[in-house]
Amino acid sequence: MSGITLWGRLSSCNVQKVVWALEELELPYEHIPVGGQHGGNRTADYLALNPNGLVPTLRDRGLVVWESHAIVRYLGAEFGSGLIYPTEPRARAPVDEWTDWTATTFQPAWIGLFWNLVRTPEAERDGAAIAKSLAAAVRCFELIEDRLGQAPYLGGAEFSYADIVAGVSLYRWTTMDVERPASPNVAAWHARLNERAAFRKAVNVPYADLVGRLAF
């Protein structure tokens, strides 16, 4: 077994984190579309790799890793030379902090909005649920806005994997049909990330195939 293989559909925000990291680190990889309309994530072969049955999954020279944040951290630690995952504990701490906050607080908020507003068929949409999830997402973006008033990137002075796991929200957040508060620091961060080819390739992915689709 040699080289890197990534399983997952490119419309998944969790897969997008891994694509962005791979592209950022200029690592060659084989991509196998799995999940969503492609299916394949409940087969015995796939479950042997990832017993959680979700995407993404990554294999590198025999090592299999699932959970998007663990994958991105692995890539940074193995191949990044400190580039997306700082090696020094005091530099690493804020990066891990914003990453864990993304996993536990920020992503559930903005993805909740995406599900309520975009993935739920129009006839089934619940205005109260949309308003609640929008308020939660706005609260999170206010935290990010404040943070980006202190530093250009979430982890501090340098781009890191914290920007990757949180930044996959930006295409959807800015294209969803909702009232967003003015957030100049978030807008400037988005513009900075958009200068990166890896961001554009991984994240600026139209999601028409997800509209009104709750099946996966």
Contacts with ligand GSH by CB under 6 A lie at 9, 12-14, 35-36, 41, 54-56, 67-68, 216
Q: In a 3-state reduction of DSSP, which class is residue 81?
A: coil
Nearest distance, CB of residue 186 and ligand GSH, angstroms = 22
Contact 175, 203 (CB under 8 A): no
Choice between 134 and 165, CB closer to ligand GSH: 165
Choice between 35 and 86, CB closer to ligand GSH: 35
Nearest distance, CB of residue 146 and ligand GSH, angstroms = 25
Choice between 102 and 183, CB closer to ligand GSH: 102
Nearest distance, CB of residue 120 and ligand GSH, angstroms = 16
As given in the structure block, the two tokens for residue 54 are 């979700």
Contact 126, 134 (CB under 8 A): no
Choice between 50 and 160, CB closer to ligand GSH: 50
Nearest distance, CB of residue 140 and ligand GSH, angstroms = 17
| Helix extents (H) in 61-183 | 68-79, 89-101, 107-114, 127-150, 161-167, 170-175
Name residues whose C-beta falls within 8 Å of residue 40's C-beta, 6 or more positions apart in sequence.
7, 34, 46
Q: In a 3-state reduction of DSSP, which class is residue 93?
A: helix
Choice between 56 and 76, CB closer to ligand GSH: 56
Nearest distance, CB of residue 83 and ligand GSH, angstroms = 21
Contact 29, 5 (CB under 8 A): yes
Contact 4, 30 (CB under 8 A): yes
Nearest distance, CB of residue 54 and ligand GSH, angstroms = 3
Choice between 68 and 133, CB closer to ligand GSH: 68
Handedness of CA 102, 104, 110, 114 (dihedral sign): positive
